[in-house]
Amino acid sequence: MQLANTPYFERPLFFFDQNRFRQALADNKKPPLQIFKDAVGAAEYQMAERFREGEDVGTLVHERALFVDCLLHYAWHQYKWLPGTGLLAVGGYGRSELHPHSDIDLLILTDESASTETIENIERFVAFLWDLGLDIGHSVRSVEDCLELAARDITVVTNLTESRTVVGDTAPGEQLVARMERDKLWTTEAFFHAKITEQEERHNRQQAAEYILEPNIKNSPGGLRDIQTIAWVAKYFFKVRTLKQLQGKAFFTEEEFAILQSGESFLWRVRYGLHLLAGRAEERLLFDYQRELAKQFGYEDSDTHLAVEQFMHNYYRTVMALRELNDVLLQFLGEAILRSSGKGSITPINKRFHLRGGAIEVVHSQVFTKHPSALLEIFVLMARNPKIARVRASTIRLIREQRHLIDEDFRANSANSELFMQLLRSPRGLSTQLSRMTRYGILGRYLPEFGRVTGQMQHDLFHIYTVDAHTLQVVRNMRGFRSPEAREKFPLAADVLGRMRQPELLYIAGLYHDIAKGRGGDHSKLGVVDAAEFCQRHRLPARDRRLVCWLVEKHLLMSQVSQKQDISDPEVVHAFAREVGDREHLDYLYALTVADINATNPELWNSWRASLMRQLYQATQHALRRGLENPIDREEIIEETRSLALEKLRAMGLPEASVINIWAQMGEDYFVRESADNITWHTAAIHELHSNAPLEQSDTLVLTRNSGPGEHDGATQVFVYTPDRANVFAAAVTGLDMLNLSVHDARLYNSASGYTLDTFYVLDESGQPLLDEPQRLQQIRLTLQEELALVEDYSKVIQRRTPRRLKMFELESQAHLSAEPGDLYSTLEITSADRPGLLARIARIFIAHDLRLHNAKISTLGERVEDIFHITDAEGRPLCDSEINRSLEEAICRELDDHTTPQ
């Protein structure tokens, strides 16, 4: 504090010898620019080393600003200035805060009638700073210019309130401050509303979530901007320069000030390290930087969590605490600024709470101490009463101070259990109140198992939220199924939820489905234990307990069956129906699965997955109505499908003899797995091909169409009919990959006439079926024709650039071969890192090992693929030798990993 009035250029910087620097400038042995560059280089190196050695980041941030002050002082005095021009620091630099690559925001204040000499000096001075390599942002204005801009732009007035003169004439800066105070360009109320709006818009641009995979440490909720927003509003209202000056003024408690300080220090350290790693002003905590920072900060992998997951867990817990504090302090400021804390009519709610100005408030400060159940009751009241818009800041503070009262006795109290169940049964506001309970630290105390996963992340591209944020989003999605908009996007889920006898059981399953993540072992089974304890404590009947526990244990079942198994096979559907057992379990499981997929990663839910889920639901519903003791007969399906297709083909004028001749070449599997509509489409096209040209000239047929209502109506079908050769699948999937089309399902059939019939279900790069664009559909047909023409000597490899995010994940491939007695095929499951052309590479591995591919289910989950292939040996037999299979699995993994090295 003794240095407060000391000029910046005279303050001690132990790493910067100012006497030596001044002497070097006086000696004139080197150009001034080189002398400045040498000083900058030495300072950057010295401060980077101090950071890596663990020095306090606050010291480094402020010393960096002080060093720049010194440089600007000496640079300024390279020129001769007339009175009336001053150099001001604004923004973060105005607060004397600079990270390695932060912008150095400068304001050059001068008279409107500045001389030609002054203007030329400004130009030379700014050019010198750019040549020096400083990251400056500058403006040249008069006092009147500043006032005019500040009157209409909240960003300008915010920057100017943090301005300070670094060098030059101090009069313009003093005049600017005096005029701003005298003219009152922004009232405190207007400033407050503008900063709140600014924060809301910034949060929305960052997906309004603390928990995105690669957060922006500056602009995401709970980030550095949230701390600065508190400071800006508080300093504007209380007329102080620093938050520290507000200690003892009843603005924040000692605990809150400590949270602000520790949170800012943590984020500063992360930001400082991030800038050094990136070599630029990078504010996004990208995957590769997360790993490196975790290592630099001393985190190590454990049995259950990677080092990067532990680091990010700390990050998320920090920003969550800061966002909570941001809510409290800004609301407190709003009440003080808008003068609403002691005014407004009071409407009694009950003996513990009343309503004041749209906010719920305790009737006295001892409410939670005397009635701990009120810590839950307040959220039930808010869910019930739409007139309650928020909680008063003083009451939020009391909640935070008294939340320690939620202990084992509190949780065992039946009155509290009933309150929580009332919340789950509330017709409105459930997800809002659960989110509020999480922010205030109540939900994690009432459900300690939920508290353990708060801020817990999984370092992959599949799970884009932390476990707690994902869980709350699942419940939010479930509640959203009630909305009118859900009728369009989730029509089946909306219908299912509408007929549920007890939707709260679905919400409980949503809360507990991932509760055991990160403990090691199968989280689905471990979660059942916690779910059962919850149901027991909340006195749910035995039937309801069994349903909730079954949902938690089986929450992945429906997505796995729909995406990894052939749901056109009646045996697959029958097995799933037996697992489900009845319509009620099917309804609850469907709603949970749809909510879960959309809360894991919104990009996962597309028309394709929606159609798979709907098809499995409807087929299972039909199987349940038919009766599990009456499985559909395979021959019955074949006969019914052939009969429907033949009727359509007759109506089209095709000779029955020709149709029967084409069908005679097909195996039974074709008529089991394909719909009558698809068979009609295929048969008519094959008939036309062979009718219009001699057989030896009619080599290849490629057709495209979007699936109609019913089976797989969420994708574009690409049908290929061509002579059966080893490289057909590889050529086809390579061609599709070249067109930026992703294959999600492939059905392959070999006819007795020596042809292969392949159907690929594809989506475009946005995860949607192709539009009805004749030019693009024609491009698909031509590209595949060209690729298939080279099939005898096919060796093309996709060379497209691997996306940045995918490069961040090192994933060793896994392969597992299995076959049950009586199976027609062996099932090969491959998990590998996603890369352009991966499917074509897998196809070439099959060729190299003399394997025949009959079917493929393709599933991309973030940075990895989980693909299912049905294969046989060259003679069409399943692979049953365990030793040969093990060798084959190892060879496949080895060859895949050799090919998936990031390019």
The CATH number covering residue 174 comes to: 3.30.460.10
Alpha carbon separation from 568 to 646, 824, 869, 896 (Å, rounded): 20, 16, 15, 30
Of 382, 400, 428, the residue that ends a domain is: 428
CA distance 407 to 390: 26
In a domain, 627, yes or no: no
Q: Which pLDDT score, from 0 to 100, does residue 1 have?
A: 29
pLDDT score for 254? 87
Mean of the pLDDT values across residues 539-552? 97
Last residue of a domain, one of 337, 371, 406: 337
Q: How does residue 714 score in pLDDT terms, banded at 50, 70 and 90?
A: confident
Q: Are residues 413 and 468 in the same domain?
A: no
Best CA proximity match to 440, nearest among 476, 474, 392: 392
Per-residue model confidence (pLDDT) at position 754: 86
Do 62 and 80 lie in a common domain? yes
Give a yes or no: residue 816 inside a domain.
yes
Q: What is the pLDDT of residue 710?
A: 53
At residue 184, the pLDDT reads 82
Same domain flag for 600 and 616: yes
Assess whether pLDDT exceeds 80 at residue 248. Answer: no
Beta-strand relationship, 742-750 and 136-141: unpaired
**173-187, 636-650, 889-903: least confidently modelled range:** 889-903
pLDDT at 505: 98
**Which residue type does 481 have?**
F
d(C-alpha 181, C-alpha 172), whole Å: 14
Domain tally, the chain: 6
| Residues 615 and 521 reside in one and the same domain | yes
> Sheet containing 164-168: which strands, arranged edge to edge?
136-141, 104-109, 86-89, 164-168
pLDDT at residue 344, as a whole number: 64
For 242-294, the DSSP string reads SGGGGTTTTSS-HHHHHHHHHHHHHHHHHHHHHHHHHTS---B--HHHHHHHH
The residue count of the chain comes to: 903
Residues 808 and 884 in one domain: yes
Would residue 1 count as lying in a domain?
no
The total of other beta-carbon atoms located within 10 Å of residue 92's CB is 21
CA proximity to 441, closest of 412, 398, 470: 398
pLDDT reading at 862 higher than 60: no
Higher pLDDT pick, 781 / 507: 507
852 vs 108, higher pLDDT: 108
Cross-strand partners of 167: 87
The pLDDT score that the predictor gives to residue 208 is 60
Q: Answer whether residue 8 shows pLDDT above 50.
A: no
Domain membership flag for residue 628: no
Q: Around Cβ 711, how many Cβ atoms within 10 Å?
A: 17
Higher-confidence residue of 896 and 808: namely: 896
Within this chain, do residues 245 and 315 fall inside the same structural domain, yes or no?
A: yes
| Mean of pLDDT values over 124-151 | 95
Encoding tokens for residue 376?
């839950």
Count Cβ atoms within 10 A of the Cβ of residue 542 and give its class: 0-12 exposed, 13-18 middle, 19 or more buried.
exposed
What pLDDT score was predicted for residue 341?
A: 46
Over residues 837-845, mean pLDDT = 81
Confidence class for position 861, pLDDT limits 50, 70, 90: low
- Whether 48 shows a pLDDT value over 90: the answer reads yes
pLDDT at 695: 46
Q: Are residues 595 and 483 in the same domain?
A: yes
| 859 falls within a domain | yes
Euclidean distance between CA atoms 169 and 107, whole angstroms? 13
In the prediction, which pLDDT does 793 show?
65
| pLDDT exceeds cutoff 60 at 632 | yes
- Confidence band of 7 (pLDDT split at 50, 70, 90): very low
Whether 69 shows a pLDDT value over 50: the answer reads yes
Residue (of 833, 831, 828, 824) closest to 816 by Cα position = 828
Q: Give the mean pLDDT of the chain.
A: 88
What is the pLDDT, as a whole number, of residue 831?
86
> Which of 129, 163, 186 finishes a domain?
186
For position 309, which CATH number holds? 1.20.120.330
- Averaged pLDDT for residues 755-764: 89
Q: Where is pLDDT greater, at 345 or 164?
A: 164
Q: Are residues 216 and 263 in the same domain?
A: yes
Instruction: Tell me, yes or no, whether 668 and 720 share the same domain.
Output: no
**Percent of the chain residues topping a pLDDT of 70:** 92
Judgement on whether residues 602 and 468 belong to the same structural domain of the protein: yes
> Mean of the pLDDT values across residues 88-110?
95
Average pLDDT over residues 254-271: 94
Where is pLDDT greater, at 412 or 838? 412
pLDDT at residue 210, rounded to an integer:
62
The pLDDT value recorded for residue 709 is 54
Task: Give the pLDDT band (50/70/90) at residue 321.
Answer: very high
Q: Is the pLDDT of residue 798 over 50?
A: no
Per-residue pLDDT tens over the stretch 405-434:
999 999 999 999 999 999 999 999 999 999
| Position 583 confidence tier, pLDDT thresholds 50, 70, 90 | very high
When pLDDT is averaged across residues 29-55 and rounded to a whole number, the result is 95
**Do 198 and 159 lie in a common domain?**
no
Tell me how far apart the alpha carbons of residues 78 and 168 are, in angstroms, rounded to a whole number: 12
* Residue with more model confidence, 124 or 564: 124
pLDDT at 5 over 50: no
Query: Does residue 504 share a domain with residue 570?
Result: yes
> What pLDDT was estimated at residue 338?
78
Looking at per-residue confidence, does 154 or 339 come out higher?
154
Find the helix or strand (DSSP H, E) in which 733 lies: helix 728-738
Looking at residue 745, its pLDDT comes to 85
Q: Which domain holds residue 169?
A: 8-186
* 848: pLDDT strictly greater than 80: yes
Residues 6+ apart with CB under 8 A from 200: none
Q: Is residue 434 part of a domain?
A: no
Note whether residue 2 is domain-resident.
Answer: no
Name the band, by pLDDT with cuts 50, 70 and 90, for residue 800.
Answer: very low
For residue 877, what pLDDT is reported?
Answer: 87
The answer to whether residue 397 is domain-embedded is yes
Instruction: Look at residues 717, 893, 720 and name the one whose alpha carbon lies nearest to residue 813.
Output: 893
Q: Please report how many Cα atoms fall inside a 13 Å half-sphere around the Cα of residue 289, on the Cβ side.
A: 21
